[in-house]
């Protein structure tokens, strides 16, 4: 039996093609042996080492951080880009999570709400 996979693909109309804030535009989240791997695609017009998407987080609906993927450098020549975070254990009973992108100057992109059932 194949493990369950949670996948979402979003078309932002139009894609904020060169977004000023980071945006999550797709997510794939396979589950295996009780943990999840999140493959998250982010769109952001990174401007260099002073202003770029520096991470994305996974949160409960109540705001508790479940996991965080640090992005250590700008992706000026890679738009959009996909990075993964594996080994994420969701709290028991969690059926909905929030993914939120961040950038270096403290701006959050829009929340992406996913149902994990």
Average pLDDT of the residues of the chain: 82
Residue 16: what pLDDT?
43
Query: What is the residue-wise DSSP string for 16-38?
Result: -SS-SS-EEEEEEEEEETTEEEE
Residue 53: what pLDDT?
82
Residue 12: what pLDDT?
41
Buried b / exposed e along 35-54 (16+ C-beta atoms within 10 A): ebebebbbbbbbeeeebbbb
CATH fold for domain 5-12+23-115: Immunoglobulin-like (2.60.40)
The model's pLDDT over 46-81, given as tens digits with 9 standing for 90+, comes to 666 667 788 999 999 999 999 999 987 676 676 788
Picking from 113, 67, 101, 105, the residue whose alpha carbon sits closest to that of residue 86 is 67
Kindly report the pTM of this predicted structure.
0.79
Q: How confident is the model at residue 110 (pLDDT cuts 50, 70, 90)?
A: very high
Name the more confident of 2 and 27: 27
**Domain layout of the chain by residue ranges:** 5-12+23-115
CB 97 within 8 A of CB 64: no
The model's pLDDT over 17-39, given as tens digits with 9 standing for 90+, comes to 445 788 999 999 999 999 999 99
């Amino acid at each position: 039996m194949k493990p369950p996979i949670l996948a979402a693909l979003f078309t932002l109309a139009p894609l904020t093609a060169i977004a000023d804030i980071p945006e999550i535009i797709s997510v794939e989240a396979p589950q295996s042996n009780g943990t999840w791997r999140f493959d998250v695609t982010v769109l952001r017009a990174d401007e260099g080492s002073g202003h770029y998407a520096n991470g994305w987080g996974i949160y409960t609906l109540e705001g508790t951080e479940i996991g965080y993927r640090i992005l250590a450098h700008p992706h000026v020549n890679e738009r959009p880009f996909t990075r993964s975070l594996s080994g994420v254990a969701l709290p028991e009973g969690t059926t909905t999570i929030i993914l939120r992108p961040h950038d270096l100057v403290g701006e959050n992109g829009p929340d992406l709400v996913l149902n994990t059932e």
